[in-house]
Amino acid sequence: MSIESLTKAVRNIPDFPIDGIQFKDITPLFQSPENLKEMSEIIYDRFKDKGITKVVGIESRGFFMGPAVAIKLNAGFVPIRKEGKLPYDIIEEKYTKEYGEDVIQIHSDSLSENDVVLLHDDLLATGGTMLAAYNLVKKIGVKKIYINFLIELVDLKGREHFNADVEIDTLLQFDN
Protein backbone atom coordinates (compact mmCIF):
# COMPACT_ATOMS: atom_id res chain seq x y z
CA MET A 1 0.00 0.00 0.00
CA SER A 2 1.09 3.53 -0.68
CA ILE A 3 -0.13 7.07 -1.23
CA GLU A 4 -0.19 6.18 -4.94
CA SER A 5 -2.52 3.23 -4.41
CA LEU A 6 -4.78 5.28 -2.14
CA THR A 7 -4.89 8.02 -4.80
CA LYS A 8 -5.93 5.48 -7.43
CA ALA A 9 -8.80 4.31 -5.23
CA VAL A 10 -10.48 7.74 -5.31
CA ARG A 11 -13.15 7.75 -7.99
CA ASN A 12 -13.71 10.89 -10.08
CA ILE A 13 -17.36 11.63 -10.89
CA PRO A 14 -17.69 14.33 -13.58
CA ASP A 15 -20.50 16.88 -13.33
CA PHE A 16 -21.64 15.91 -9.83
CA PRO A 17 -23.53 17.42 -8.06
CA ILE A 18 -23.69 20.07 -10.81
CA ASP A 19 -22.12 20.57 -14.24
CA GLY A 20 -18.45 21.49 -14.13
CA ILE A 21 -17.70 19.87 -10.75
CA GLN A 22 -15.27 16.96 -10.67
CA PHE A 23 -16.50 15.15 -7.55
CA LYS A 24 -13.91 13.08 -5.67
CA ASP A 25 -15.73 9.99 -4.42
CA ILE A 26 -13.92 8.57 -1.40
CA THR A 27 -16.25 5.63 -0.82
CA PRO A 28 -13.91 3.19 -2.64
CA LEU A 29 -11.20 4.11 -0.10
CA PHE A 30 -13.40 2.78 2.70
CA GLN A 31 -14.43 -0.43 0.95
CA SER A 32 -10.98 -1.95 1.32
CA PRO A 33 -9.70 -2.96 4.76
CA GLU A 34 -6.17 -2.42 3.46
CA ASN A 35 -6.97 1.17 2.49
CA LEU A 36 -8.61 1.86 5.84
CA LYS A 37 -5.64 0.48 7.69
CA GLU A 38 -3.18 2.42 5.52
CA MET A 39 -5.03 5.73 5.95
CA SER A 40 -5.30 5.33 9.72
CA GLU A 41 -1.61 4.37 9.97
CA ILE A 42 -0.49 7.37 7.92
CA ILE A 43 -2.57 9.82 9.96
CA TYR A 44 -1.42 8.17 13.19
CA ASP A 45 2.25 8.41 12.17
CA ARG A 46 1.88 12.09 11.32
CA PHE A 47 0.24 13.02 14.63
CA LYS A 48 1.41 10.43 17.18
CA ASP A 49 3.96 12.79 18.75
CA LYS A 50 1.75 15.90 18.86
CA GLY A 51 -0.01 15.16 22.16
CA ILE A 52 -3.49 14.97 20.60
CA THR A 53 -6.17 14.58 23.27
CA LYS A 54 -9.28 14.98 21.05
CA VAL A 55 -10.03 14.32 17.40
CA VAL A 56 -12.84 16.57 16.20
CA GLY A 57 -14.66 15.34 13.09
CA ILE A 58 -16.86 17.52 10.92
CA GLU A 59 -20.26 16.18 9.85
CA SER A 60 -20.56 13.89 8.11
CA ARG A 61 -17.48 12.66 6.34
CA GLY A 62 -15.21 13.66 9.19
CA PHE A 63 -17.02 10.90 11.09
CA PHE A 64 -15.61 8.23 8.74
CA MET A 65 -11.95 8.28 9.82
CA GLY A 66 -12.12 10.55 12.87
CA PRO A 67 -13.06 7.86 15.42
CA ALA A 68 -10.54 5.35 14.00
CA VAL A 69 -7.76 7.92 14.25
CA ALA A 70 -8.88 8.89 17.77
CA ILE A 71 -8.63 5.26 18.89
CA LYS A 72 -5.11 4.91 17.46
CA LEU A 73 -4.03 8.20 19.11
CA ASN A 74 -5.63 7.19 22.43
CA ALA A 75 -7.74 10.35 22.20
CA GLY A 76 -11.42 11.16 22.52
CA PHE A 77 -13.68 11.90 19.57
CA VAL A 78 -15.91 14.99 19.33
CA PRO A 79 -18.41 15.63 16.52
CA ILE A 80 -19.07 19.01 14.95
CA ARG A 81 -22.60 18.85 13.62
CA LYS A 82 -24.90 20.87 11.45
CA GLU A 83 -27.35 23.17 13.21
CA GLY A 84 -30.02 21.50 15.32
CA LYS A 85 -28.41 18.04 15.58
CA LEU A 86 -26.80 18.25 19.04
CA PRO A 87 -29.06 17.72 22.07
CA TYR A 88 -27.11 19.61 24.74
CA ASP A 89 -25.73 23.11 25.33
CA ILE A 90 -23.89 24.21 22.19
CA ILE A 91 -21.49 26.78 20.81
CA GLU A 92 -21.98 27.66 17.15
CA GLU A 93 -20.25 29.31 14.23
CA LYS A 94 -22.01 30.86 11.24
CA TYR A 95 -20.21 31.00 7.92
CA THR A 96 -20.88 31.80 4.30
CA LYS A 97 -20.83 29.18 1.59
CA GLU A 98 -21.08 29.61 -2.16
CA TYR A 99 -24.87 29.40 -1.99
CA GLY A 100 -25.73 30.97 1.37
CA GLU A 101 -25.09 30.86 5.08
CA ASP A 102 -24.62 27.75 7.20
CA VAL A 103 -24.13 26.99 10.89
CA ILE A 104 -22.07 24.32 12.65
CA GLN A 105 -22.23 23.47 16.33
CA ILE A 106 -20.29 21.66 19.04
CA HIS A 107 -21.25 20.76 22.60
CA SER A 108 -20.00 23.47 24.93
CA ASP A 109 -18.40 20.96 27.32
CA SER A 110 -16.71 18.74 24.72
CA LEU A 111 -13.31 20.47 24.77
CA SER A 112 -11.20 22.23 27.38
CA GLU A 113 -8.29 24.64 27.52
CA ASN A 114 -5.95 21.68 28.06
CA ASP A 115 -6.95 19.85 24.89
CA VAL A 116 -4.70 19.44 21.87
CA VAL A 117 -7.12 19.01 18.98
CA LEU A 118 -6.85 17.33 15.61
CA LEU A 119 -9.62 18.74 13.39
CA HIS A 120 -10.41 16.16 10.70
CA ASP A 121 -12.51 16.18 7.54
CA ASP A 122 -12.50 14.42 4.22
CA LEU A 123 -11.86 17.25 1.77
CA LEU A 124 -10.18 20.63 1.58
CA ALA A 125 -11.72 22.53 -1.32
CA THR A 126 -12.46 26.21 -0.74
CA GLY A 127 -11.85 25.82 3.01
CA GLY A 128 -15.00 27.50 4.31
CA THR A 129 -16.34 24.69 6.47
CA MET A 130 -12.97 23.89 8.04
CA LEU A 131 -12.27 27.55 8.70
CA ALA A 132 -15.61 27.77 10.53
CA ALA A 133 -14.74 24.61 12.49
CA TYR A 134 -11.31 26.00 13.32
CA ASN A 135 -12.87 29.26 14.56
CA LEU A 136 -15.44 27.32 16.56
CA VAL A 137 -12.80 25.23 18.34
CA LYS A 138 -10.64 28.32 18.84
CA LYS A 139 -13.57 30.04 20.65
CA ILE A 140 -13.35 27.33 23.30
CA GLY A 141 -9.69 28.17 23.88
CA VAL A 142 -7.90 24.83 23.45
CA LYS A 143 -4.14 24.54 23.81
CA LYS A 144 -3.36 23.72 20.15
CA ILE A 145 -5.23 22.90 16.92
CA TYR A 146 -3.95 20.77 14.05
CA ILE A 147 -5.92 20.20 10.83
CA ASN A 148 -6.05 17.06 8.70
CA PHE A 149 -7.85 16.14 5.48
CA LEU A 150 -7.92 12.97 3.43
CA ILE A 151 -7.97 14.96 0.17
CA GLU A 152 -6.97 18.46 -0.90
CA LEU A 153 -8.08 20.04 -4.17
CA VAL A 154 -4.97 22.16 -4.58
CA ASP A 155 -6.26 24.42 -7.38
CA LEU A 156 -9.07 25.74 -5.15
CA LYS A 157 -6.50 27.22 -2.73
CA GLY A 158 -8.42 26.45 0.45
CA ARG A 159 -5.22 26.72 2.50
CA GLU A 160 -5.03 30.43 1.76
CA HIS A 161 -7.92 31.12 4.18
CA PHE A 162 -5.80 30.04 7.14
CA ASN A 163 -2.99 31.93 8.87
CA ALA A 164 0.50 30.65 8.07
CA ASP A 165 0.90 29.30 11.62
CA VAL A 166 -1.98 26.82 11.19
CA GLU A 167 -0.60 23.34 10.47
CA ILE A 168 -2.63 21.69 7.69
CA ASP A 169 -1.94 18.11 6.63
CA THR A 170 -3.49 16.20 3.72
CA LEU A 171 -3.03 12.59 2.67
CA LEU A 172 -3.88 12.96 -1.01
CA GLN A 173 -3.69 15.96 -3.31
CA PHE A 174 -5.48 16.49 -6.60
CA ASP A 175 -5.73 19.32 -9.10
CA ASN A 176 -9.38 20.24 -9.48
Q: Catalytic residue positions?
A: 61, 98
As a residue count, the chain comes to 176
Cα–Cα dist 83/86, whole Å:
8
Strand order, beta sheet including 76-82: 90-97, 100-107, 76-82, 54-58, 116-124, 144-153, 167-174
Q: How many CA atoms lie within 13 A of 173 on its CB side?
A: 9
Cα–Cα dist 121/35, whole Å:
17
Q: Which residues contact 98 (CB under 8 A, 6 or more apart)?
A: 126
